[in-house]
Structure 1
């Protein structure tokens, strides 16, 4: 004869567990193990949800920072200059986040090791544009 095993999910609060333990209605060891596993699974799910939320918040913040930085860059250049610069920078970098990073961190040797951001914020965007044009045609730094 085949035996069948049935799994029933039981959720008890502390008071109910105490009553069941006193009454001896169920095997306490299996119930205790089940309850501990259930609590661990719940804690794990909660941690996973929290980590996922945090990861999404960080991703959203990076996107917003990139968007704000691109807007900031755009305020220093004319539409014509942007029409020249952005496609060229997109060819050199894989995405807007990398463009922003490059503009903020790359030090141009020919410009006293100033970053592109330093140059255009200090009113020397023409120097930056000359450098870009020079590099575009294959010039050296």
Structure 2
């Protein structure tokens, strides 16, 4: 890929998969509240309709924008974040991993609304797909 060429969604997903594998490896070496399920979530999301968007993580949330943003090669500061995300932590029974699906934007008013809490990445991804607009029909704030 050309140095200044803008990333495609596939490029962003390739990078996200590598980052998730690395994050899981780091978490496995510690006693963390973040479980090593990032790669599972990213692979599941990439195999879904979410693959049309540009993924990124912020702490333990998988989030999406409608185009390459400033931290991606060739990106600008005009990407719009989609109003939904999936978080993951060890808040399930006995400290097991749980995925939480959120409607709304993090750290913005109104506060995001919890839509689903599940131990199943597929269920979480399906719930988020149902919340987000189809490609090309999203509206900018």
When normalised by structure 2's length, the TM-score is 0.28
Which of the pair has the greater relative contact order for Cα pairs under 8 Å at 6+ separation?
2
When normalised by structure 1's length, the TM-score is 0.28
More strand by share: 2
